[in-house]
Amino acid sequence: MAGLSRGELVRKTVHMSVGALAFAVRPLGPGLSAACAALAVLLNLTLLPKIGRIMWRSHEESSGKAPGFVFYPLAVLVLVLVFWRRIEVAAAVWGILAFGDGMASIVGMSIGRAKLPWNPRKSWAGTVAYWIFGAAAATVLLQWTVPGRYSLEFAIAVSIAAALASALMESLPQGLDDNLGVPLVTGLFLLCLLLTAGHWTAFVQAPGFASRLGIGLVVNLALGVLGYAAGGVNRSGLFAGVVLGSVVYAGLDWRGYLLLLAFFVIGTGCTKLGRARKEAAGIAQERGGRRGASNALAKTSVPAACAMFAATTSHPLLFTLAFAGALATAAADTASSEIGKAFGRRTFLITTFRPVPRGTEGAISLEGSLGGIVGAVLMAAFGAAVGLFPWLALVPIVVAAVIANLLESLVGATLESRGLLDNEAVNFLNTLTGALLAATASFWLV
């Protein structure tokens, strides 16, 4: 098997063998499962470095550290603790992590000659293997862990969707170990998918669904072409925008779509604002300010998912607020970044408050911060004005956006500046944080 060393084969065989323990989650329950995962973390910290050197990779040997062996059981522990009340999510994602990631390496190193265009270290064969084997493992574990709760067809569908999302996230060229972040996001996505059980038929057969979907496609295609002509998006951005915008229109109708459109207007306007000054300083948006598919997915995939879950679960207010929180966060991020680059007079690094040049990752300025707050307020006020959510939600949505962007600056100053996360990954995490924070308001607005 060309490219697959004996050590790597042993490593991935052990990786998948340990994944078989996910079947023990059902008889053990969350308490004992968490205890076993904690014990595994301890053993991998102390014992494995002495007896498991055959599985170490060359860079691990040179550094004397193999963090992946600790992050794997740590991810399982966190999954069990986070999804304590929906333990089937922890088991299914463990299956994706074990069998999807394991087979991706084996297949990719064996026959993966065609590389991914966005990450030449990964192959199409490996990514497809991750998807197929991850989906199969998740399906079996969902059915095993909570027998009879979900139909086989539904379990297969949500497992395919969750494994695909996980495979795509795992394929991104990030510097951080993917044994922790990818499973957590996958688990959150799978949980939301499971909440749609029993709702899809009513959603698709509801009066107006077909017309909403058709109108969404036509409107988004027309606006996408205009955005391309105006220099706001490139071709990949146009395609991604049409898909994501149509999902939003189908899920939250014209009210949700108007809020998405407001974000695009604010973002494009702020990007064009003071462009000459930003170009002179060498910190202007790349490609002349045109947004590509990666930009669209990073900032609007979370809102699009929330829009769909708002229409297909029993928690429409929660997901609508999450949708608004994600978009308000994205608007605030773009406004603060672009206004700060153009007009920020004094720029400080958020971790040290020492002066740094404009455009530095993790830098903040008074002008940019105020611009971000105004952007969040405009988005929240507009959403309330069109009747998407109550006016009482305005404050928590704005607060969620501000907190999320402060955290984003912190991540930018620490992880992004060191090359461990790229800008798109930071933007995705930013909108996800804003969505989660804003969604908490639903518990006291009901």
Please, which pLDDT band fits residue 305 given cuts at 50, 70 and 90?
Answer: very high
Other CB atoms within a 10 A radius of the CB of residue 314 amount to 10
**Cα Rg, the chain, nearest whole Å:** 23
Mean pLDDT taken over the chain:
89
Q: What is the pLDDT of residues 136-190, one digit of tens each?
A: 999 999 999 999 999 999 999 999 999 999 999 999 887 666 777 899 999 999 9
In whole angstroms, what is the distance from residue 257 CA to residue 213 CA? 12
154: CB partners within 8 A, 6+ apart? 197
In whole angstroms, what is the distance from residue 129 CA to residue 124 CA? 8
- Listed range (7-21, 42-56, 102-116, 242-256) with the worst mean pLDDT: 42-56
In whole angstroms, what is the distance from residue 293 CA to residue 237 CA? 4
In whole angstroms, what is the distance from residue 441 CA to residue 150 CA? 29
Q: What percent of the chain is predicted at pLDDT more than 70?
A: 90
Whether pLDDT at 55 is above 80: no
371 vs 321, 331, 335, 374, 405, CA distance in Å? 22, 10, 6, 5, 12
Q: What residues are paired with 347 via a beta bridge?
A: 365
Encode 196-210: b = buried (16+ Cβ within 10 Å), e = exposed. bbeeeeeeeeeeeee
Rounded to 10°, the helix 394-411/316-343 angle is 50
130: CB partners within 8 A, 6+ apart? 100, 101, 103, 104, 163, 166, 167, 170, 171
User: Is residue 386 classed as helix, strand or coil in its secondary structure?
Assistant: coil
Whether pLDDT at 22 is above 90: yes
DSSP 8-state secondary structure symbol assigned to residue 240: H
Q: What percent of the chain is predicted at pLDDT more than 90?
A: 60
Q: What is the pLDDT of residues 419-436, one digit of tens each?
A: 788 888 899 999 999 999
- Listed range (63-77, 185-199, 304-318, 416-430) with the worst mean pLDDT: 63-77
Whether pLDDT at 9 is above 90: no
User: Is residue 324 classed as helix, strand or coil in its secondary structure?
Assistant: helix
Question: Does residue 86 contact residue 79 with C-beta atoms inside 8 Å?
Answer: no
Whether pLDDT at 62 is above 70: no
DSSP 8-state secondary structure symbol assigned to residue 98: I
The three state secondary structure string of 404-425 is HHHHHHHHHHHHHCCCCCCHHH
In whole angstroms, what is the distance from residue 115 CA to residue 108 CA? 9
User: Is residue 69 classed as helix, strand or coil in its secondary structure?
Assistant: helix
DSSP 8-state secondary structure symbol assigned to residue 350: T
Query: Does residue 45 or residue 17 have the better pLDDT?
Result: 17
363 vs 65, 347, 360, 414, 442, CA distance in Å? 32, 6, 5, 11, 32
In whole angstroms, what is the distance from residue 52 CA to residue 61 CA? 11
Please, which pLDDT band fits residue 335 given cuts at 50, 70 and 90?
Answer: very high
Question: Does residue 376 contact residue 398 with C-beta atoms inside 8 Å?
Answer: yes
Is the overall model pTM greater than 0.75, yes or no? yes
pLDDT in the model for residue 115:
93
The alpha carbon dihedral of 272, 380, 431, 299 has a sign of negative
Whether pLDDT at 1 is above 50: no
In whole angstroms, what is the distance from residue 436 CA to residue 329 CA? 11
User: Around 89, how many Cα atoms within 13 Å sit in the side-chain half-sphere?
Assistant: 25
DSSP string, 185-228: HHHHHHHHHHTTTTTHHHHHHSTTHHHHHHHHHHHHHHHHHHHH
pLDDT in the model for residue 145:
98
Please, which pLDDT band fits residue 57 given cuts at 50, 70 and 90?
Answer: low
**Mean per-residue pLDDT, 66-77:** 82
| 417, burial (CB in 10 Å: exposed 0-12, middle 13-18, buried 19+) | middle
Q: What is the pLDDT of residues 376-401, one digit of tens each?
A: 999 999 999 999 999 999 999 999 99
pLDDT in the model for residue 45:
82
Encode 135-145: b = buried (16+ Cβ within 10 Å), e = exposed. bbbbbbbbbbb
In whole angstroms, what is the distance from residue 127 CA to residue 121 CA? 11
Whether pLDDT at 289 is above 70: no
Question: Does residue 410 contact residue 362 with C-beta atoms inside 8 Å?
Answer: yes
Give the start-end residues of each E strand in 68-206. Answer: 115-116, 119-123
In whole angstroms, what is the distance from residue 288 CA to residue 293 CA? 15
pLDDT in the model for residue 161:
98
**Mean per-residue pLDDT, 263-291:** 72
**Mean per-residue pLDDT, 306-310:** 97
